[in-house]
Amino acid sequence: MLISNTKHEITVPLNDLTAQYISIKSEIDSAIERTISSTAFIGGEEVKQFEKEFADYCEVKACTSVGNGTDALYLVLRALGIGEGDEVITVAHTFIATAEAISLAGAHPVFVDICEDTMLIDPDAVEAAITSRTRAIIAVHLYGQPCNMTRLMDIAKRHSLKVIEDAAQAHGAYTQGQRVGSLGDAACFSFYPGKNLGAYGDGGAVVSQNEALIERIRMLANHGRLEKYLHQVEGVNSRLDGLQASILRVKLKYIDKWNNLRQKHAVAYLKSLPDSKVTLPTIQPEARSVWHLFVIRVKNREQFQDYLKKRGVFTGIHYPIPLHRQPAYQHLKISEGSLPITEKVAEEIVSLPMYPELTHEMRNRVINSVNSYYSHS
């Protein structure tokens, strides 16, 4: 959707959920009306069908929906029996939900550094961090690109560890011809509205080739029960609403089309942005990113963002403060400089507008604004 600014030039938002809704409005409105008419607001046929369709999409045997992506991670850890005294290796370059889930399960998050080219978890750092207390690795498929799952699965096999895919930003991505979500012991998805597959509120899911694991997670997410009033364990309340499931079923039909449009925008950015001035994203040869975000690295970030904003181009930062430097994790006593690549990247990253509904004119506005900044600086 084009928005005029005071100079009568187009404005390019970082994301535009209104444009997506307008493109599928009749189907979304019909799905919502159908769900309200059925009064199946918790559970019901829409949830059941979405779980089946999403499992098929991810090329896995089973899926259970949950309340949000954070719960998805927590419930997997709990279902795997990971808790007090255990360590789980992951990255500090991610949203806090990844580490929150580890702490909520009673385990200890162990942060390792990332590879500078992909900004994804460094398998060598993972192996170096393994101790007798390590139980699992959470591989975060950040910005839409899968981690090096071949290396991570090999490390996990040799050390008898579980691998959990945090796929909150990678719906539909591939690596070595396999869908994200089908590679680890389980994979966790978020359907936060801004995701590649986003609901109109919170939502999440866990997928796996292990059907028994999914059934245990389903039970834990529904107060520890599989049938009414018979509780096998103490669980939690983390269920996908019927309304959200109906919306996600509509959107699931379009996700590959939308991901292809993101790919088209990414190719245009990669071809047209000044790689001698900015650090462009690097995609592993075996991976197919779904470009949840298009993240570049620049010097003088604040000045760069301010320049683009004045030209009607809005940007973001994902994420400016690594988890090990957050006040919430100061009790871990991780010294500054202990994750040098993570800390370096956090000072330079900028997310450019990236969503399927970007028009050619809007995309060129972004490209021309970046190029203009460097031609004048």
Tell me the pLDDT band of 376, cut-offs 50, 70 and 90.
confident
| 114 Cβ contact list (under 8 Å, min separation 6) | 91, 93, 120, 121, 122, 125, 339, 341, 342, 345
Compute the C-alpha angle 238/243/246, nearest 5°: 110
DSSP 8-class letter at 232? S
Main-chain phi, psi angles of 4, to 5 degrees: -85, 140
pLDDT at 7 over 70: no
pLDDT at 223 over 50: yes
Measured in whole angstroms, the distance separating CA 162 from the mean position of its chain's CA atoms is 20
Tell me the pLDDT band of 5, cut-offs 50, 70 and 90.
very low
Q: Say what the pTM is.
A: 0.96
* 195 in catalytic set: yes
Tell me the pLDDT band of 109, cut-offs 50, 70 and 90.
very high
pLDDT per residue over 322-340, tens digit each? 999 999 999 999 999 999 9
> Of 196, 221, 65, 213, whose CA–CA distance to 136 is shortest?
213
Tell me the pLDDT band of 2, cut-offs 50, 70 and 90.
very low
| 255 Cβ contact list (under 8 Å, min separation 6) | 57, 171, 172, 196, 197
pLDDT at 4 over 70: no
Which ranges of the chain would DSSP assign to H, the alpha helix? 17-23, 25-38, 45-58, 69-79, 97-104, 123-129, 149-159, 211-221, 242-252, 255-272, 301-310, 340-346, 360-376
pLDDT per residue over 231-282, tens digit each? 999 999 999 999 999 999 999 999 999 999 999 999 999 999 999 999 999 9
Write down the catalytic residue from 52, 61, 195, 271: 195
Mean of the per-residue pLDDT values of the chain: 96
C-beta neighbour count of 168 within 10 angstroms: 28
C-beta neighbour count of 26 within 10 angstroms: 9
- Whether residue 295 contacts residue 263, with contact meaning beta carbons closer than 8 Å, is answered with no
| 67: exposed, middle or buried (Cβ count in 10 Å: 0-12, 13-18, 19+) | buried
C-beta neighbour count of 33 within 10 angstroms: 11
- Whether residue 236 contacts residue 223, with contact meaning beta carbons closer than 8 Å, is answered with yes
Tell me the pLDDT band of 377, cut-offs 50, 70 and 90.
confident
pLDDT per residue over 126-156, tens digit each? 999 999 999 999 999 999 999 999 999 999 9
The pLDDT value recorded for residue 183 is 96
Main-chain phi, psi angles of 321, to 5 degrees: -125, 110
The two tokens of residue 364 are 């060129």
pLDDT at 215 over 60: yes
pLDDT at 8 over 50: no
What is the set of domains in the chain, with CATH numbers? 3-14+254-376 (3.90.1150.10), 22-252 (3.40.640.10)
Helices 255-272, 360-376: axis angle to 10 degrees equals 30
Residues paired with 63 in a beta bridge:
207
pLDDT at 1 over 50: no
The pLDDT value recorded for residue 220 is 98
- Pairing of the two strands 108-112 and 87-91: parallel
> Of 99, 149, 157, 106, whose CA–CA distance to 342 is shortest?
99
pLDDT per residue over 183-207, tens digit each? 999 999 999 999 999 999 999 999 9
Question: Which whole number is the average pLDDT over 215-230?
Answer: 95
- Pairing of the two strands 186-190 and 162-166: parallel
